[in-house]
A and B are shown apart, each in its own frame.
Chain A
């Protein structure tokens, strides 16, 4: 979404190029890959030297990587925490070494907020709420009960917990909304399809599907079609993330709404890195620009989706 790296390059002289150490969670999804690509591309564009490491979804690997960056004395450390706790010891080391830390994608749970300079990313609870908001509006004024099934993310994953919570809390006020089944689809298409197939067998009248990510929604759509129903019409589908395939499905009328969760943090991150290195103060919490897309907006947005 942001500019293609026409950042001022004066900080990036040959010798004192900013070095950014980035500890990525892994490459567990297309979303994550887009996130990684965005960071790599914008670092190159901004003339920042990027040290990258992939933790393969393991916290200990991420800690090792951060510790490695401390030892290599990078200028800034950024990372997307695998989980929101357990960072105090290593962040204290970074602080002691005088290296500023930027969190991306999700926050950490620490009483000592001086351990990081800022957090840039989405708020998963808000995403859940937005999904609920659309639903509430869609059924405004209707009194018949609405049967909802939910495809959760992997147990223990922060997005899964928060998106469930945000959504659940928001619809709790209206007794018409009933979550009749909720299972984990482990964020994948295959599981999404399998679980949805089972849901369809045991629940004859499902009105709404709420999926914690697009992949599960895309899998579920196939299950719905195989059951002889029309996704998007017979069963309304709400999904989160906003990958290209999901936009295509919206254009085809199979998904009703997608709450965006933007992985393209790169440009914003690089901007922040430069500010931090220059010693400028930055906000503690920076939200990424994210929208809620409905079917009528999808066609227009589809060509510009990058991932």
Chain B
């Protein structure tokens, strides 16, 4: 239970960006030994509040008091030195450094000013990673690992920096259920040690599982502060969204469909023995028109790789692909796109967004690339399309000229989704499409997938959330250790447990 005295208190925080008021007079309290959830829709101002607190941004107004003292951090370094350690929303580590170095940089053990013990750093890193059940080569550059692993490394680093306050901004967005549990174990341990934790997530179950209290933001304004056990989910959602709209109920209703008739048709895409050494072992996969195929598996099991091979993002070494009845060699994404395949990549900053371009330009990019530079999308049509999808996916700010770099994480994801939807693909590959997306928008996207499939679009759906996979797909491919081990039809009998068992045992049933 929280002490009466908050370790951190923020009052009247106001932060403006040109054209946007990200925070307007927000108050916030954090007590030692509690897990505090910061809640809000995409763009509500959660990350901005965290960045203001830790000195990344300077607020226009407001004060922060840490452990009884007025503080004003001019840089994250200062915040860190004062005992506030943070994992920011997008993984913010150095891709070129090794895992061990990322964990220890800036606080390497030194002797006479010289870093003297690399083996020790590696050993400690392995030890720390073992706490989240990760056994990886810590000397390899961070960039060679999947986003999820990078996320865990960032967490491990933040947690290891002895701190009074640990801030985790959507740390779980790319973790699977097991990894989340590992993280929670670590968080609980910190909590017992009296550390104050600030936690951001769009997964309500996680919030209810781990947090003690929560602060809700909406449109940059404080809605209020509640004890988690005193607020029901429906109330929470309606406070976040600001209407009494019961999104949750709608979510539950989301249809779980099975179209047995699909299997009898010719598949839209049939991959046979597609594989690449070191990435995934050769696999067979067929996707029918109007079918949603889910991929399940643990971290690094090779789901992303399957998607990338089909899309030609990586070049397959073995196997063939038949699309629409004609055999194809998919060597580059361009050929795949030419066959009406679209791919929403997992890591939106490095593989998806062009940060310096506007929302409009980012949305139009794929369509434009397909048409070639000679045939620009007519401005009228382009603006119509862009406006339509900004509206449909409720991208905020709804300004097509805003730089995508300045959008909140969830809204960036929506921009990418819009980019592919306007190309009206026949097969849409979604790698973690709901990462970092708020409950409302998530339901929106799930509904979208269902309706697209009903209109005949095929979807390959990858998500760390088994529930989501289960809810949407007609059939689920299960991966383990970079091998497609099973293909399970999604009938009444398929449950998350059965999928987990399949993953664990490594064989289909």
A and B touching (C-beta < 8 Å)?
A: no
Interface residues of A (CB under 8 A from B): none
